[in-house]
Amino acid sequence: MKRLRARDVTDFLLHDTSNRSRRSVQLPATVLRSFLNFLFQKGRITTNLAAAVPSVPDRRLAELPHYLEAREVEKVLRSCDRRRKIGKRDYAIFLLLARLGLRAGEVTQLTLDDIDWRAGELLVRGKGAREDRLPLLQDVGQALVDYLQKARPACSSRRVFIQCKAPFEGFAGPQCVSNLVRMALPCHYNVPARPLHR
């Protein structure tokens, strides 16, 4: 039980619910969150993995965006040339969107102080002053380290992600992240940027 990881949780839910309707997915997700909270409170797991349970999109409104399928996400991730500094940055951003389900605005606002390397957690500031602590998955952590050590411009900003051209400062807003996703999508999709949630 103590070997349970956030990736195991998301993989289980995505596999178990891939062919179900939204309503039939919501209940198992809610039950799984409650169970993981219980395990954490009882000390059976060392990290509260409830935050790793993917949220279920509400598709009742036609204008809500569709989500990329797993193969599309992998295409976007492969589009990053990680030999280049900008590729390292974009790869880390896309992993945060895909693996942790962060919104563009949450990625934009992420600061160096929000990363707790010792605890393996990420502090995410959402809408309405909401704060969540999410487990820092291994591949996400490695991508962040690669970017921070080898590609992030030296600057006074505490934002994690910095523009690649001077002036070296954080992104102006969430649209910058959305544009990165849009540019990474194969041109035949011809659609607005969509969240990378898996």
**104-151 per-position pLDDT tens digit:** 999 999 999 999 999 999 999 877 778 889 999 999 999 999 999 999
What pLDDT is attached to residue 59? 44
More confident of the two residues 5 and 170: 170
Q: Does the structure show a pLDDT above 50 at 61?
A: no
What pLDDT is attached to residue 94? 94
Q: Does the structure show a pLDDT above 70 at 51?
A: yes
| Rounded average pLDDT over 6-12 | 76
d(CA 187, CA 195): 16
User: Which of 78-82, 98-102, 158-162 ranks highest by mean pLDDT?
Assistant: 158-162
Contact, 178 vs 194, CB < 8 A?
no
| Rounded average pLDDT over 89-99 | 94
Quote the tokens at residue 24: 């039939």
Q: Does the structure show a pLDDT above 60 at 198?
A: no
Contact, 126 vs 133, CB < 8 A?
no
- Mean pLDDT, all residues of the chain: 81
- Site of tokens 């039939």: 24
| Rounded average pLDDT over 142-171 | 94
CB atoms within 10 A of CB 81: 12
What pLDDT is attached to residue 118? 93
User: What are the CB-based long-range contacts (under 8 Å, 24+) for 61-66?
Assistant: 65/192, 65/194, 65/195, 66/194
pTM beyond 0.75: no
What residues does each domain of the chain span?
6-52, 70-189
For 70-189, CATH number out of 1.10.443.10, 2.40.30.10, 2.40.50.100, 3.40.30.10 equals 1.10.443.10
d(CA 190, CA 186): 8
